[in-house]
Amino acid sequence: MVENLVEDYRTIRDVTVKGIELADQEEDPVTEDMLTEYKASIDANIWMLQAYLGKDPHEGEEE
């Protein structure tokens, strides 16, 4: 169950990274900054869930 949450957060993170890239291309620094802060929060959640599972934060990441 927790592993599924980690996978879902990683999917959200990947979509957020694409949004950051698009905001940069469109020269929209406000949206880029907002999404960057959101991504930091998502990364923290991934880290905490992985710690709960006793795993390295990057374990299970696709290369």
Q: What is the pLDDT of residues 30-56, one digit of tens each?
A: 999 999 999 999 999 999 999 999 999
Residue 8 domain boundaries: 2-52
User: How many separate domains does the chain show?
Assistant: 1
Q: What is the pLDDT of residue 57?
A: 86
pTM: 0.89
Contact assessment for residue 21 and residue 31, using Cβ atoms and an 8 Å cutoff: no
CA distance 35 to 21: 10
Q: Which of 23, 60, 20, 24 shows the shortest CA–CA distance to 40?
A: 20
DSSP letter at 28 equals -
Is residue 63 situated within a structural domain?
A: no
Is residue 46 situated within a structural domain?
A: yes
**What tens digit of pLDDT does each residue of 6-39 get?**
999 999 999 999 999 999 999 999 999 999 999 9
Is residue 42 situated within a structural domain?
A: yes
Is residue 30 situated within a structural domain?
A: yes
